[in-house]
Structure 1
Amino acid sequence: MLRNLLVYTSLATLLACQSNHSETKETSESATANAATASEEEGWENLFDGKTTKGWHTYGKDSIGKAWKVQDGTLHLDASNKKDWQTSEGGDIVTDQTFEDFHLKLDWKVAPNGNSGIMFYVQEDPAKYEYAWQTAPEMQVLDNAGHPDAKIVKHRAGDLYDLITSSPETVKPAGEWNHAEIISNNGALEFYLNGTKVVSTTMWDDNWKALIAGSKFKDMPGFGTFKSGRIALQDHGDNVWYRNIRIKRLDEAASDAAKTDAN
């Protein structure tokens, strides 16, 4: 009996040690993973928390339209109730914050035959500019296989809308997620779609002005002239989903780097 008790006690002690070792290992691995994540995320700001529409409002209004819904960690425009070419209680939405030089990352998917867009440097002045797109350059979001806009040069997914054609075309079919990045840094503009650079240009120089002069925006004097503004997601009357919306202020990052070098 005593022998069995000793064996049982030894086994219990061994198992407790193994359990403690396992817990210590898991805690250490978790801490390492969290540290790596913190390092990767340094300087990045979430523009969408996956749970609320906090940080966004409809262009020219104080709140956000009910057609923009949070569903399963996505920001979804429910376009079931159309109003002209947009959505009832929808409209283009813009960030509460404004940005200068930035690196924007997000995922998007669009319904079959869908159309939307990611705009930047939006000037929110409804008395002067009725729509966000009257001042803001745009990365086109589109179902290339189904929407009629895809037949127009510079209107396809990934294009700098009506200004520069994206190349190569890397967009995925309607209903599938695409990863988009927009980098604007001291006039240098780059678009990435699904990991590939598809547009590269310089803003505000003579070539930029010529691009605008040859586009549908030629009679909009404020278009593409601003060096800071809001980020916008477009309501074009079609179902679209966005998620993982993050931004990094490059002007602040550069400033912090300069301070570090100086020290």
Structure 2
Amino acid sequence: MKSAILRPFLGLVLAACVLSLAPASAAYGEKTENEGWVPLFNGKNLDGWYSYLDSSGKNKDPKSVFKVENGMIHILDVPMFEGKSDNGYLATIQEFSNVRIHVEYKWGVKRASEGKRNSGLLYLAVGPDTIYPTSLECQIEETDVGDLWIVNGASVTAFFIAPSLPMYDDDMQAGTRVRSAPGDSLRVLKSGDFENRDGWNSVDVILQGDGSTHLVNGRIVNRAHDIQQPDPANPSRMIPLKSGRILLEAEGSEIWFRDVRVKSLGPSERP
């Protein structure tokens, strides 16, 4: 996701490689024997998901941006639309709360520009489909995986070093309340760089109560508390945001996703 940073106030993927890495998946929503994890992607089709593109809307993907290949979700480089990247996402039909979300990703080679390859895992997404709905995002972008984006009117208490250096600090005892403007986003930088630029990475988001925690390859890099959204009946009033859709973002870069799953958590259960 591209927007302003938080301010004071506020060649082809080798087929042999791909085939060797394709996982076996259970049916969507089928609880496995693996410690209560439930797959959100069955490895065969996009049952349980819908697509949204800026140019064509919901479940209209004429250029096949979103595919299932070799047991994985394959998001191609997004075609240009009226001079700009035609961004979009896959979204779960179901909403989730009090879960641990797990995805694994690997970059492809196609991209819409020479900038950093970019995607994202959005969560607690609510309201109408748009680019992008009210939500939080665990950034998936080269060198920035794990950054927290506060999207389209959402508000959180974030834990960062200083407004002039909005980087997550695990030692902070008191957070700072920040809110994104409608239609805009704010960013809190991750605390460290633990991504693998050339291979597979795991990204986890833990949702418990009104808080979230980002992990990259098993390392905590960001967190937020007291997550809120504008009240649909009275947008000037903020209300808790504890449940929403999960989105996998298409933002001009080819990317593969596999092992997309969730695990239910109690309010105080260790993830």
Structure number with larger C-alpha Rg: 1
Does 2:124 align with 1:118? no
Picking from 233, 240, 249, the partner of 1:234 is 249
Picking from 186, 189, 212, the partner of 1:165 is 189
Structure 2's unaligned 5+ residue stretches are 1-30, 110-115, 150-185, 230-234
Q: 1:64 to 1:72 in 2, by over 3 A?
A: farther
Question: 1:85, CA displacement in angstroms?
Answer: 4.1
State percent identity of aligned pairs. 25
Tell me if structure 2 keeps the 8 A contact 1:99–1:249: no
Helix, strand or coil: the match of 1:92? strand
CA RMSD of aligned residues (A): 3.2
Cα distance in 1 for partners of 2:79, 2:38 equals: 32
TM-score by length of 1: 0.62
Q: 1:80 to 1:123 in 2, by over 3 A?
A: closer
Q: In structure 1, what is the equivalent of residue 39 of structure 2?
A: 46
Amino acid in the other structure paired with 1:81: P
Helix, strand or coil: the match of 2:250? coil
Helix, strand or coil: the match of 1:100? coil
Q: How many residues align?
A: 187
Q: 1:64 to 1:44 in 2, by over 3 A?
A: farther
Cα distance in 2 for partners of 1:183, 1:80 equals: 29
Select the structure that is richer in helix.
1
Q: 1:249 to 1:197 in 2, by over 3 A?
A: same
Aligned pairs for 1:164-183 within 5 A: 164-173=188-197, 175-183=198-206
Q: In structure 1, what is the equivalent of residue 73 of structure 2?
A: 75
Question: 1:58, CA displacement in angstroms?
Answer: 1.6
Provide, for residues 158-192 of structure 1, a one-character-per-residue CA deviation record: whole Å limited to 9, x for no partner: 1112432111210111x421111000101231111
Tell me if structure 1 keeps the 8 A contact 2:78–2:251: no
Q: In structure 1, what is the equivalent of residue 141 of structure 2?
A: 142
Aligned pairs for 1:1-263 within 5 A: 39=33, 41-59=34-52, 63=59, 65=61, 66-79=64-77, 81-83=79-81, 84-87=83-86, 91-111=88-108, 113-126=116-129, 130-131=130-131, 133-144=132-143, 156-161=144-149, 162-173=186-197, 175-204=198-227, 226-251=241-266
Q: In structure 2, what is the equivalent of residue 153 of structure 1?
A: none
Select the structure that is richer in strand.
2
Helix, strand or coil: the match of 1:203? strand
Q: 1:195 to 1:222 in 2, by over 3 A?
A: farther
Cα distance in 2 for partners of 1:253, 1:73 equals: 34
Tell me if structure 2 keeps the 8 A contact 1:43–1:253: no
Cα distance in 2 for partners of 1:108, 1:221 equals: 38
Q: 1:80 to 1:182 in 2, by over 3 A?
A: closer
Helix, strand or coil: the match of 2:135? coil
Structure 1's unaligned 5+ residue stretches are 1-36, 145-155, 210-219, 255-263
Cα distance in 2 for partners of 1:38, 1:134 equals: 31
Cα distance in 2 for partners of 1:180, 1:246 equals: 11
